[in-house]
Amino acid sequence: MSNQKKRNFQTEAFKHRVVVDPKYADKTWQILERAIHQIYNQDASGLSFEELYRNAYNMVLHKFGDKLYTGFIATMTGHLKEKSKLIEVAQGGSFLEELNKKWNEHNKALEMIRDVLMYMDRTYVESAKKPHVHPMGLSLWKDNVVRSPKIYSRLLETLLDLVKKERTGEVIDRGLLRNVTKMFMDLGNLCIRLILRSLFWMLLLCFTRLSLRSLLSLVIVGITRRKLRNV
């Protein structure tokens, strides 16, 4: 590059990038917060991805990454608390179904929120050395729903109950059982250890090998895959 060009290289002053409005961060966050609510209410098809992405990007660019990150966690926690209440009140057999339904909803919402917050995930989260959005969303689910005292023990009981039922020859919803097991796998090591280990041995004792095959293979595959990945 010629020296002449170097001399001519001028950049327009980017002063306009500096935020003057002190309420800027709050205003922008409100837009995003409203969007997260809408996503959880399964009403996302009217939202503009471009607008949300741009707002999240601008917040990070103007050094409000921290506000954005904590805001997202707080909002999501709120939603999960609500969900866990809804699951708690579910009666009898619909308990597992409700849990599974909410889990699916949460997953879908989390995916969308991750996409909107992608810029933050790539830059702010990396430099601040915080957990990424997706793992964070999973662990929030774990802490607020699965480990909520009213759900945790009931979940164990229900699963055991299902197993017993099958043993006595009743027809159970295997698909549901598989989905719930898969949830534990997605939630990762800790949950597997916490729940499945205790459940697993109990199941082994009272369960015929044949009907357990699907469950067993899933769990073993899950654990070994994780182990392998950690090697």
Partner 1 sequence: MVAAKENNSLTVAPFECAWSDDLKFREAGRGCVAFDAFAHNDVTVVFRENVGSQHYHYKKDNSPHYIVIIGSNRNRRLKIQVDGESVVDEEASDLCRCSLEFESYWISIYDGLVSIGKGRYPFQNLVFQWQDSKPNCSVQYVGLSSWDKHVGYRNVSVFPVTNNRISLWKQVDYREVKGFVEEEEGMGCDYEQWGLGNFLESWELSDVIFLVGEEEVDVPAHKVILQASGCFPLSSSDGDVIQLGGVSYPILHALLQYIYTGRTQILESELAPLRDLSSNFEVIPLVRQCDENINRLKLSNGASDPCKSVELSCPVSHPLSGFMFPTAFPADVGKLKTFYSSGEYSDIEICLSDHGLTFQSHKVILSLWSVAFAKMFTNGMSESHSSTIYLTDVSPEAFKAMLNFMYSGELNMEDTVNFGTDLIHLLFLADRFGVVPLHQECCKMLLECLSEDSVCSVLQVVSSISSCKLIEEMCKRKFSMHFDYCTTASLDFVLLDQATFSDILESADLTVTSEEKILDAVLMWCMKAEEPQRWEDIDELMNYSNPEILFKERLQSLDDLLPHVRFSLLPYELLERLENSNLSRQVPVFNRLVKEAASFLASRLTCPGNETTSRFQHRRSSFKELQYIRDGDSNGVLHFVGTSYGSHQWVNPVLAKKIIITSSSPTSRFTDPKALASRTYVGTSFAGPRMEDGRISSWWMVDLGEDHQLMCNYYTFRQDGSRAYARSWKFQGSMDGKTWTDLRVHENDQTMCKAGQFASWPITAANALLPFRFFRLVLTGPTADTSTPWNFCICYLELYGYFR
Name the residues that contact partner 1, by CB under 8 A.
1-15, 17, 44-54, 57-58, 61-63, 111-112, 115, 118-119, 122-124, 126-127, 132, 134-135
How far apart are the C-alpha atoms of 200 and 216, rounded to whole Å? 8
Going by C-alpha positions, the residue among 110, 117, 147 that lies closest to residue 55 is: 117
Of 36 and 87, which CB lies nearer to partner 1 in the complex structure?
Answer: 36
Of 72 and 124, which CB lies nearer to partner 1 in the complex structure?
Answer: 124
The distance of closest approach from Cβ of residue 137 to partner 1 in the complex, given in angstroms and rounded to an integer, is: 12
Measure Cα distances from 216 to 30, 170, 191, 211 in Å.
Answer: 46, 20, 16, 9
Rounded to a whole number, what is the distance in angstroms from the first to the last CA of the chain? 49
Single-letter code of the amino acid located at 157 = E
The distance of closest approach from Cβ of residue 154 to partner 1 in the complex, given in angstroms and rounded to an integer, is: 32
DSSP 8-state secondary structure symbol assigned to residue 207 = S
The distance of closest approach from Cβ of residue 152 to partner 1 in the complex, given in angstroms and rounded to an integer, is: 27
Of 18 and 210, which CB lies nearer to partner 1 in the complex structure?
Answer: 18
Of 42 and 224, which CB lies nearer to partner 1 in the complex structure?
Answer: 42
The distance of closest approach from Cβ of residue 141 to partner 1 in the complex, given in angstroms and rounded to an integer, is: 17
Burial, 156: exposed, middle or buried (Cβ in 10 Å; 0-12, 13-18, 19+)? middle
How far apart are the C-alpha atoms of 158 and 173, rounded to whole Å? 12
The distance of closest approach from Cβ of residue 2 to partner 1 in the complex, given in angstroms and rounded to an integer, is: 7
Of 60 and 219, which CB lies nearer to partner 1 in the complex structure?
Answer: 60
Of 132 and 164, which CB lies nearer to partner 1 in the complex structure?
Answer: 132
DSSP 8-state secondary structure symbol assigned to residue 186 = H
Tokens of 130: 């915080």
